[in-house]
Amino acid sequence: MSCNWYEQRETGELDEEAFQRHVSECDLCREKLRQDEQLLALAGGLKQPTPPPFLWEQIEVSLHAEKRGSGRTWIYRIAAVLVVSLGIGGAYVHFDAPTQRSTSSSLYSPSALEKVRDREREYVAAIEELAQAAGPRLDEMDLDLMLLYRDKIQTIDTQIARCLDALHNNPANTHIRRYLLLALQDKRQTLQEIVQLEL
Residues 181, 98 share a domain: yes
Q: Taking Cα atoms as reference points, which of 159, 175, 189 lies closest to residue 81? A: 189
Residues in the chain with pLDDT values less than 70: 1, 67-74, 94-108, 199
pLDDT of 102 reads 46
Residues 154, 100 share a domain: yes
Residues 78, 26 share a domain: no
pLDDT of 45 reads 79
**Which 3 state secondary structure label does DSSP give 173?**
strand
Structural domain range at position 128 = 70-196
Question: Is residue 24 in a domain?
Answer: yes
pLDDT of 68 reads 65
Residues 184, 121 share a domain: yes
pLDDT of 108 reads 66
Question: Is residue 76 in a domain?
Answer: yes
How far is the C-alpha of 165 from the C-alpha of 171, rounded, in Å?
Answer: 10
* Contact criterion met (CB below 8 Å) for 160 and 90: no
Question: What does pTM read for this prediction?
Answer: 0.47
Q: What are phi and psi of 173, to 5 degrees?
A: -65, 120
Residues 75, 38 share a domain: no
Question: Is residue 51 in a domain?
Answer: no
Structural domain total, the chain: 2
Question: Is residue 60 in a domain?
Answer: no
Residues 148, 97 share a domain: yes
How far is the C-alpha of 21 from the C-alpha of 27, rounded, in Å?
Answer: 12
Residues 26, 103 share a domain: no
CA of 136: how far to CAs of 92, 125, 189, 198, in Å? Answer: 34, 19, 17, 13
pLDDT of 4 reads 85
pLDDT of 104 reads 46
